């Protein structure tokens, strides 16, 4: 295992410490275990938004704490959910007296610990609502969408819910409702070209031959839809795009945002090669792209590969997506 680290056991904590030192005007670190990242300089007097998840996916999850986005985030070990106490500390930090939306991926450990945390905080008078991201079409059929994993498309829900929460008349119910609509309108598919290595495991999460790719795998190395030879970038883009269009029923006249996301090791040049093809195909189909995103938004350590996300926009979702927001990993002020 070749990684820049000291001890595998200290990996998550030292990464969080370094992130906060690198962006001292953006992030604060708090909580009993130091595993809660909070927004500095505001956020009170409105509906709070909290997320959480394992390390190894930056900028998801903690990187999206900021103005117009998350107010706090609980962080677990690499590919492991945050502890109940950390979830509680994050919720308390985000509470401004108007309730707190819990917005995170559809993973068993995260769901269990956030549910326990919110139940215990009811006694403190903190109201919460939960919305789960279920955008990964490779993990379950549309008929069983509630079983799908949450992957890069969660970032759209962060942005849209965060903008809604900043409105003067926003309530916990209205913020949760728009977050659910964002989740319902978002689909994602991924392609892995190589695995990653979890520091504490010391070995790759799965194995791929030199000429193989995994289509539809999860961000923790969960099995995908199929495995086969690596194909040309245009063919890869066509396959990914058609999977999403078919699943979501996106058609001529629709308006979407597109996210081409690096899973960690894939460089921008290769992402742009994919986006070039996706943008051209959407144009041919009469589907308008309102807000393209190309870069690292939700990673899987040093995994090589990419994911493609589409969110179908209506007037409100587009306005919220384009509303001002600012953190080190997202800025459209």
Q: What is the pLDDT of residue 333?
A: 66
Cα–Cα distance measured from residue 206 to residue 197, given in angstroms and rounded to the nearest whole number: 9
35, 220, 277, 296: the active-site residue: 220
Q: Give, in order, the Cα–Cα distances in Å from 312 to each of 70, 156, 245, 258.
A: 22, 11, 10, 9
Please identify every stretch of the chain with a pLDDT value under 50, giving residue numbers as ranges. none
150: which 2 tokens?
A: 């949450």
Question: Which CATH number fits the domain 8-184, given the four candidates 3.40.1440.10, 1.10.3720.10, 3.40.50.10440, 1.20.1250.20?
Answer: 3.40.50.10440
List the domain boundaries for the chain.
8-184, 186-320
Mean pLDDT computed over every residue of the chain: 96
For CA atoms 286, 287, 290, 295, the dihedral sign is negative
Q: What is the pLDDT of residue 331?
A: 81
39, 46, 57, 145: the active-site residue: 57
Q: What is the pLDDT of residue 332?
A: 80
Q: What is the pLDDT of residue 41?
A: 76
% of the chain with per-residue pLDDT over 90 = 95
Say if residues 323 and 68 touch (Cβ distance below 8 Å): yes
Examine residue 59 and say whether the peptide bond preceding it is cis (omega within 30 degrees of 0): yes
Q: Which CATH class is domain 186-320?
A: alpha beta
- Concerning whether 98 is annotated as a catalytic residue, the answer is no
- Concerning whether 57 is annotated as a catalytic residue, the answer is yes
């Amino acid at each position: 295992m070749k990684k820049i680290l000291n001890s595998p056991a200290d990996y998550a904590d030292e990464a969080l410490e370094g992130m906060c030192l690198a962006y001292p005007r953006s992030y604060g670190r708090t909580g009993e275990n130091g595993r809660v990242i909070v927004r500095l300089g505001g956020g009170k007097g409105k509906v709070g938004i909290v997320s959480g998840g394992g390390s190894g996916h930056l900028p998801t999850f903690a990187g999206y704490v900021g103005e117009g986005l998350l107010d706090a985030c609980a962080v677990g070990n690499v590919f492991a959910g945050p502890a109940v106490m950390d979830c509680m500390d994050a919720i308390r930090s985000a509470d401004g007296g108007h309730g707190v939306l819990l917005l995170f991926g559809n993973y068993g450990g995260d769901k269990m610990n956030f549910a326990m945390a919110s139940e215990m905080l009811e006694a403190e008078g903190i109201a919460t609502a939960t919305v789960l991201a279920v955008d990964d079409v490779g993990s379950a059929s549309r008929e069983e969408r509630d079983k799908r994993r949450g992957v890069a498309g969660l970032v759209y829900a962060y942005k849209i819910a965060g903008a809604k929460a900043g409105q003067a008349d926003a309530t916990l119910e209205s913020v949760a409702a728009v977050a659910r609509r964002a989740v319902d309108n978002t689909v994602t598919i991924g392609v892995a070209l190589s695995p990653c290595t979890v520091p504490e495991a010391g070995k790759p999460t799965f194995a791929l031959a030199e000429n193989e790719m995994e289509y539809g795998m999860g961000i923790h190395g969960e099995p995908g839809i199929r495995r086969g030879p690596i194909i040309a970038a245009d063919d890869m883009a066509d396959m990914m795009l058609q999977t999403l269009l078919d699943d979501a029923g996106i058609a001529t006249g629709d308006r979407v945002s597109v996210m081409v996301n690096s899973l960690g090791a894939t460089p921008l040049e290769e992402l742009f090669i994919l986006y070039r093809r996706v943008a051209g195909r959407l144009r041919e189909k009469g589907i308008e792209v309102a807000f393209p995103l190309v870069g690292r938004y939700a990673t899987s350590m040093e995994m090589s590969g990419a994911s493609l996300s589409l969110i179908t926009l209506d007037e409100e979702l587009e306005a919220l997506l384009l509303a001002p927001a600012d953190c080190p990993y997202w800025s459209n002020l």
